[in-house]
Amino acid sequence: MQFGIFGVGDIAPDPATGVPRSEAQRIQDTIRVAKAADELGLDVFAFGEHHNTPFVASAPPVMLAYIAAQTKNILLSTSVTLITTNDPVKIAEDYAFLQHVADGRMDLMLGRGNTVPVYPWFGQSIRDGVPLALENYNLLHRLWREDVVDWEGKFRTPLQGFTSTPRPLDGVPPFVWHGAIRTPEIAEQAAFYGNGYFANHILAPNFHFKPLVDFYRQRFEHHGHGRAQDALVGLGGQAFIAKNSQDAYAGFRPYFDSYPMFQGTSLEQFAEGTPLSVGSPQEVIDKTLTFREGFGDYQRQLWAMDLGSMPLDVALEQVELLATEVVPVLRKEMSALRAPGVPEAPTHASLVQAAYGDGETRQARPRPNTGDNTSGSLPYIDSDPARRANMPRFA
């Protein structure tokens, strides 16, 4: 099972001063947290996508590529990549490129997002959110698996003989998790393709998304990808850890009380009624084990650990406590409880092994290069000699 942390680059005013961190500081702090997660042996670091303030997570491929160069072992992911407002061609190329940069240490989570204004900013309508997600992923799936794609849909211009570059590393596309908390169509999409399903249940009541997870598992089996218990599930969570419960509540309360998302409820109520875990390492372990009781065996557990206004030293302390006192126990407990035959979360190495065994990996077979005008290799030659004579020449 994979354990890790995720975030969305949020910025909130410091509860003591009322002054938020700068964007530059938030970015650098996030990089430092990711490096610490790698050094401490966590499995996954995931970074989300937002295009509105107060977030700095507008370019996950850039952030994750930089982190890939600064880390050794940790798997890098997104939380989430917007499948609705990004061009699937750009997603295919950006994340295949990241796959090469990270030497396979990456996957990605796709989602529709929860910010209404983002859609018109990128020329789309939120009314088309579900159809966009379905159509765009259909194209993305093909772009990573077919060297030459002819395609026509509703939401973008057609493609004729198109090859996205670079091709996926070793001929194996990045593994995809579909993140959804309200839409059966997305759970069905994840099941249809045999992909993973991630329920980010940090803000909802405990086990609120169990019906969607159960539906995804049933449909995964229906589509012939294995047993329902073989379906690949990830869960979100949020935690604040201290040596004892009293210190944890005292330490987290200023950040909770000042954060806009939590207005209108008390910390105690929220911790009791949602997956938020506040307390000693053992209390966080116990709370996380209830996730397995409610959802069954699953493959990936991520926690949000660096709420927007949290200083770097506090965030680093949280990651260290998670990695050294919580995750080692959960690894043993989850492994002991795991039903026979339940699969682990995919990695690039496991996907390559499943695809090729000990054989050679597949080589891409795009169409012959047709060149471009700038380089002088012209796919189109005007038949009129006079017009050809007046074409620009480049030294």
| 230, 220 Cβ separation under 8 angstroms | yes
Helix (H, G, I), strand (E, B) or coil at 2: strand
Helix (H, G, I), strand (E, B) or coil at 197: strand
Q: The pTM is what?
A: 0.91
Gap between the Cα atoms of 46 and 34, Å rounded:
9
Cα–Cα distance list, 143 to 96, 161, 281 (Å)? 10, 11, 44
pLDDT in tens, the chain (395 residues): 999 999 989 999 999 899 999 999 999 999 999 999 999 999 999 999 988 888 998 999 999 999 999 999 999 999 999 999 999 999 999 999 999 999 999 999 999 877 778 888 888 888 888 999 999 999 999 999 999 999 999 999 999 999 999 999 999 999 999 998 888 999 999 999 999 999 987 888 999 999 999 999 999 999 999 999 999 999 999 999 999 999 999 999 999 998 888 888 899 999 999 999 999 999 999 999 999 999 999 999 999 999 888 999 999 999 999 999 999 999 999 999 999 999 999 999 999 999 999 888 877 777 766 555 455 444 444 455 565 455 554 44
Structure tokens at 328: 């080692």
Residue 194 and residue 291: Cα distance in Å, rounded?
23
Which CATH class name applies to 2-369?
alpha beta
Label the pairing between strands 276-279 and 44-47.
unpaired
7 vs 175: CA distance, rounded Å? 19
Helix (H) or strand (E) holding 98: helix 88-101
Listing DSSP states for 19-53 in one string gives PBPPHHHHHHHHHHHHHHHHHTT-SEEEE----ST
Alpha carbon separation from 377 to 78, 216, 369, 370 (Å, rounded)? 38, 49, 9, 7
Distance CA 257, CA 149 (A): 51
Check if the beta carbon of residue 106 is closer than 8 Å to that of residue 169: no
**Residue 171 CA: distances (Å) to CA of 144, 166, 356:** 8, 10, 10
Q: How many residues are given for the chain? A: 395
Containing 249, the helix (H) or strand (E) segment is helix 245-258
How many whole angstroms separate alpha carbon 286 and alpha carbon 279? 10
- How far is the CA of 105 from the CAs of 96, 97, 360, 388, in angstroms? 11, 12, 20, 49
C-alpha span between 201 and 322 (Å, rounded): 19
CA–CA distances in Å: residue 117 to residues 28, 49, 53, 133, 140: 27, 14, 12, 17, 24
8 A C-beta contact, residue 316 and residue 34: no
* Residue 385: per-residue pLDDT: 57
384, two tokens: 């009129």
Q: Which of 158, 175, 185, 191 is nearest to 77 (CA)?
A: 175
Give 102: exposed, middle or buried? Use CB within 10 Å, 0-12, 13-18, 19+: buried
Beta carbons of 348 and 170 less than 8 angstroms apart: yes
List CB contacts of 196: < 8 A, sequence separation 6 or more: 175, 176, 177, 178, 190, 232, 233, 234, 299, 300, 345, 346
